[in-house]
């Protein structure tokens, strides 16, 4: 046990229970030594559920001397203060997405991590999908052609329901569906295409967290320029996925961990090609949270860089802020078109 | 101002009702939800949402304290359908609630409903254990509490249309996938009520003079057929072929085969019980039950292949059994809905509530289409890419 990497998990809510704790327990060479949550009963319940022994505490400060790295899985508006406390003590941090609620908070975290020379990673877990890395390589190499337009959508009737219900509190999340759901795609989009040169954004918020979003992005680099659209919903089901038209065909990637990249070449529309890496990735590609945990531990040991660094998390926050700053209202009130007829 | 508590406020009807009532401005609204996961439609308004579990009388009491009237749109889990409603109404009586409006369903009349269920007095005959049967038990409970002193109105809508209507979306997707057949050319009644019309009926029910605790149909005014519905959805068909016409006998065969398959899957109930993780854990822990399962598995070699496969799947502890429908691919559910062949009447709603539907079918469909275009990007420059993410794209090409 002495040689194992000691993980502390802050936040005993649903994502901690269903993703980070199982990942930490499954990660080779690591052990969970601390579980932190203001609700100690919840910590004890999780320890019983997973049959483990670990220190429990109501605040992270109590366990900082007993962990080699901390996973922060708490409401978004608490990320910065908890992370800064860890980083100031020289403890590496993996923060659930988004990095923080504001760019200022995020920059402070990045600055502190750099000052202490410790890892600050962001939990954009979908980056660990094999298809996401491969898509990046395909776009960079131009294998499927030059992009002309893309669309992305993700919509559910309701969905993820954290124990605290903080998800409906705009103050706690920093927004609505854009932050809760869309930030994963924004991270991937930034990874694939870089920062857009222009953007437009509309949502249906009437003071609370927006439930529906349509955003458009323009990209321009040299002679290549193209646009993309992102549609997000928490009120209607939208089949989730990414589709990109290029000058050589159409590329599809459904939004799931196992989905393959499909390519329909323009020169022969009868074909649909599955694009995959060869040989299959050797690591735990089936569980992205486990892959994320392995990456974090290896980064803390100096064996690699974190898949998503704090600096990249700040870039995501910057784009979030820009989108909200140019917000326009989306048509949402159908009652006004439902007047009496005749 | 009258304060109205709306239970089930995060559901499709509940959230639409809250939004309509806010637009009227005549009530103080208290939306009451169970969990936050589905409450985005209301949360986006930044309004306060109250939370209560119908299984807890204390939570219910806390949530509706100070409310004058209550609308119940809640659709709790089956085990709370009756006890949860009883809790709610008992608290309503003790809190001196002046009016209780309960949302029932035409499903209480069974599938298919009796031909005389044009009016509410027809005998309900939903099969025990079905959704309609639970709603029927609820109706009886409401009537009982009405006589105990809780003035109640039971509104009985059919499938509900409007922006984001789960029913219209299901019909549309089935249509696009080629799974919608029109029985006898689509000439049979399609009972629908627009969510705005239903909200209007709720408003009427909150103020009507003589509530009697009995069911009242709330339906759109025009005699809509399934052909009309398909015509209304046609602009969103995305290249799908006009649905085929099949005879009543063919539709009955589609429904019969589906029911037969469900019966084959070891009586549904057994499947559900055996499929529960808790049951599997228990059986795995018992040498006797493990041996019994072993015997069942040996018996399977004498059974027809389909049944043997299902039994084997159960004994191996898989939680789901894949149903393979080998028919022509038409939706049994939508065939069954067309075989109802009865048009419920809103006469009683008009007389007792003063119900006048604010919007007509064509306007309802126009709003649905407009909503679909905005929220799904249909008809936009992106649609040619987006459509490939939809299940129907593979069928339509």
Give the number of beta-carbon pairs within 8 Å between A and B.
129
**CATH 3.40.50.720, chain A: domain bounds:** 5-125+289-318
The ranges of chain A annotated as CATH 3.30.360.10 are 127-286
In this predicted structure, the answer to whether residue B317 has a pLDDT above a threshold of 90 is no
Q: B182-183 and B192-194: which strand pairing?
A: unpaired
A127-286 has which CATH code? 3.30.360.10
Identify the closest residue of chain B to A205 by CA–CA distance: B44
Q: Are B168 and B233 in contact (CB under 8 A)?
A: yes
Residues of chain B positioned with their CB less than 8 A from the CB of A337: 367, 370
Q: What is the CA radius of gyration of chain B?
A: 23
Q: Which of A4-13, A90-99, A202-211, B30-39 has the lowest mean pLDDT?
A: B30-39
* Residue B175 domain-assigned (yes or no): no
Scan for tokens 């708490």, then name that residue: A74
CB contact under 8 A, B40 and A158: yes
Distances in Å between the Cα of A307 and the Cα atoms of A188, A302, B302, B326 are 12, 13, 55, 47
Asked if the model's pLDDT at residue B291 lies above 80, the reply is no
Q: What is the pLDDT of residue A277?
A: 80
Q: What is the pLDDT of residue A285?
A: 56
Per-residue pLDDT at A268 exceeds 50? yes
B336-387 pLDDT tens trace = 999 999 999 999 999 999 999 999 999 999 999 999 999 999 999 999 999 9
What pLDDT shows up at residue A21? 97
In whole angstroms, give the CA distance from residue A322 to residue A195.
11
Strand boundaries in chain A, DSSP class E: 5-10, 30-36, 55-57, 69-72, 93-96, 120-123, 147-155, 198-203, 212-221, 224-233, 238-246, 249-254, 261-265, 273-275, 327-329
Q: Is residue B279 over pLDDT 60?
A: no
Contacts of B325 (CB under 8 A, 6+ apart): B257, B258, B261, B332
**Residue A165 DSSP code:** -
Q: Residue B111 is part of which domain span?
A: 3-163+191-220+342-396
CA dist B146 and A132 (Å) reads 59
pTM for this prediction: 0.88
Report d(CA B200, CA B357) in Å as an integer. Answer: 7
Tokens of A113: 């991590």
- Put simply, the chain A residues between 188 and 217 with a CB less than 8 A from any chain B CB are 204-212, 214
Which chain A residues are closer than 8 Å to B375 by Cβ? 212, 231, 233, 236, 238
Decide if B68 is inside a domain: yes
User: Who among B44, B375, B389 is closest to A236 (CB)?
Assistant: B375
Does some domain include residue B369? Answer: yes
Mind telling me how many Å the CA of A171 is from chain B's nearest CA?
A: 11
Query: Cβ of A165 and B35 within 8 Å?
Result: yes
Q: What is the pLDDT of residues A293-308, one digit of tens each?
A: 999 999 999 999 999 9
| Pairwise CA distance, residues A164 & A166, whole Å | 5
User: How high is the pLDDT of residue B306?
Assistant: 53
CATH number for the domain harbouring residue B59: 3.40.50.720
Q: How far is B113 from chain A (nearest CA, A)?
A: 30
CATH dotted code for A5-125+289-318: 3.40.50.720
Q: What is the DSSP pairing of strand B159-161 with strand B152-156?
A: unpaired
> Tokens standing for A121?
């990673």
Which segment of A91-100, A290-299, B323-332 scores lowest on mean pLDDT? Answer: B323-332
Choose among B37, B43, B391: nearest Cβ to A160: B37
Q: Note whether residue B73 is domain-resident.
A: yes
pLDDT at B292: 55
Q: How far apart are CA B180 and CA B162, in angstroms?
A: 20
Q: Which of B396, B397, B393, B369 is nearest to B241 (CA)?
A: B396
**Residue A185 or residue B78, greater confidence:** A185
Alpha-carbon distance of B170 to A214, in angstroms, equals 23
pLDDT tens-digit series, residues A103-130:
999 999 999 999 999 999 999 999 999 9
Which burial class, exposed, middle or buried, applies to B299 when counting CB atoms under 10 A from its CB (0-12, 13-18, 19+)? exposed
Domain-embedded: residue B16: yes
- What pLDDT is attached to residue B390? 87
Strand A5-10 versus strand A30-36 pairing type: parallel
pLDDT tens readout for residues B114-164: 999 999 999 999 999 999 999 999 999 999 999 999 999 999 999 999 999
Q: How many domains, chain B?
A: 1
A309 secondary structure, DSSP code: B
For residue B43, the model assigns a pLDDT of 94
| Contact criterion met (CB below 8 Å) for B26 and B8 | no
């Amino acid at each position: 046990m002495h040689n194992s990497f000691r993980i502390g998990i802050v936040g005993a809510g649903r994502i901690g229970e269903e993703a980070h704790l199982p990942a930490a327990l499954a990660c080779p060479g690591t052990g969970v030594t601390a579980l932190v949550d203001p609700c100690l009963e919840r910590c004890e319940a999780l320890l019983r559920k997973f049959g483990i022994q670990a220190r429990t505490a109501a605040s992270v400060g109590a366990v900082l001397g007993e962990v080699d790295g901390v996973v922060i899985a708490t409401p978004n508006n608490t990320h910065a203060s908890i992370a800064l406390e860890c980083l100031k003590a020289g403890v590496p941090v993996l923060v659930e997405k988004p990095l923080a609620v504001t760019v200022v908070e995020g920059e402070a975290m990045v600055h502190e991590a750099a000052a202490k020379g410790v890892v600050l990673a962001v939990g954009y877990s979908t980056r660990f999908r094999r298809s996401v890395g491969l898509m990046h390589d395909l776009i960079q190499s131009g294998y499927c052609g030059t992009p002309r337009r893309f669309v992305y959508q993700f919509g559910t009737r309701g969905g993820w329901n954290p124990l605290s219900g903080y998800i409906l509190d705009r103050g706690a999340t920093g927004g609505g569906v854009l932050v809760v759901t869309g930030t994963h795609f924004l991270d991937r989009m930034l990874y694939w295409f870089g920062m857009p040169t222009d953007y437009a954004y509309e949502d249906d918020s009437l003071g609370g967290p927006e439930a529906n979003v349509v955003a458009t992005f323009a990209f321009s680099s040299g002679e290549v320029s193209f646009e993309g659209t992102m549609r997000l919903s928490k009120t209607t089901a939208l089949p989730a996925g990414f589709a990109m038209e290029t000058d050589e065909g159409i590329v599809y990637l459904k939004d799931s961990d196992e989905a393959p990249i499909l390519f329909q070449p323009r020169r022969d529309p009868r074909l649909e090609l599955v694009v995959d890496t060869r040989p299959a990735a050797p690591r735990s590609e089936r569980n992205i949270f486990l892959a994320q945990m392995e990456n974090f531990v290896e980064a803390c040991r100096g064996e690699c860089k974190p898949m998503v660094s704090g600096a990249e998390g700040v870039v995501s926050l910057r784009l979030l802020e820009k989108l909200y700053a140019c917000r326009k209202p989306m048509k949402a009130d159908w009652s006004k078109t439902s007047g009496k007829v005749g | 101002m009258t304060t109205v508590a709306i239970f089930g406020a995060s559901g499709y009807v509940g959230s639409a009702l809250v939004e309509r009532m806010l637009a009227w401005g005549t009530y103080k609204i208290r939306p009451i939800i169970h969990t936050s996961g589905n409450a985005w439609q209301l949360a986006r308004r930044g309004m306060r949402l109250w939370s209560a579990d119908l299984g807890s009388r204390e939570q219910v009491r806390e949530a509706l304290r100070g409310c004058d009237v209550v609308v119940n749109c809640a659709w709790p889990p089956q085990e709370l359908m009756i006890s949860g409603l009883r809790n709610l109404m008992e608290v309503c009586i003790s809190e001196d609630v002046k009016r209780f409006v309960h949302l029932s369903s035409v499903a209480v009349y069974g599938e298919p409903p009796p031909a005389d269920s044009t009016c509410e007095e027809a005998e309900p005959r939903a099969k025990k254990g079905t959704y309609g049967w639970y709603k029927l038990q609820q109706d009886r409970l409401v009537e009982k509490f009405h006589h105990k002193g809780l003035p109640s109105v039971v509104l009985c809508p059919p499938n509900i249309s409007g922006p984001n209507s789960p029913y219209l979306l299901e019909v549309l997707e089935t249509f696009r996938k080629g799974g919608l057949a029109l029985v006898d050319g689509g000439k049979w009644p399609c009972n629908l009520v627009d969510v705005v019309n239903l909200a209007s009926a709720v408003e009427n029910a909150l103020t009507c003079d003589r509530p009697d605790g009995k069911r009242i149909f709330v339906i759109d005014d025009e005699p809509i057929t399934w052909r009309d519905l398909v015509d209304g959805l046609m602009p969103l068909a995305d290249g799908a072929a006009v649905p085929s016409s099949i005879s009543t006998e063919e539709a009955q065969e589609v429904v019969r085969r589906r029911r037969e398959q469900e019966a084959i899957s070891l009586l549904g109930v057994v499947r559900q019980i055996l499929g529960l993780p808790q049951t599997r854990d228990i059986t795995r822990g018992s040498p006797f039950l493990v041996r019994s399962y072993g015997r069942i598995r040996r018996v399977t070699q004498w059974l027809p292949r389909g049944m043997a496969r299902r039994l084997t799947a159960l004994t191996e502890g898989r939680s789901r059994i894949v149903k393979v429908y080998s028919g022509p691919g038409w939706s049994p559910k939508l065939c069954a809905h067309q075989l109802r062949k009865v048009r419920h009447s809103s006469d009683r709603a008009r007389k007792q509530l003063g119900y006048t539907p604010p919007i007509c079918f064509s306007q309802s469909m126009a709003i649905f289409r407009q909503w679909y275009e905005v929220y799904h990007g249909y008809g936009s420059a992106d649609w040619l890419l987006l459509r490939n993410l939809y299940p129907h794209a593979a069928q339509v090409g």
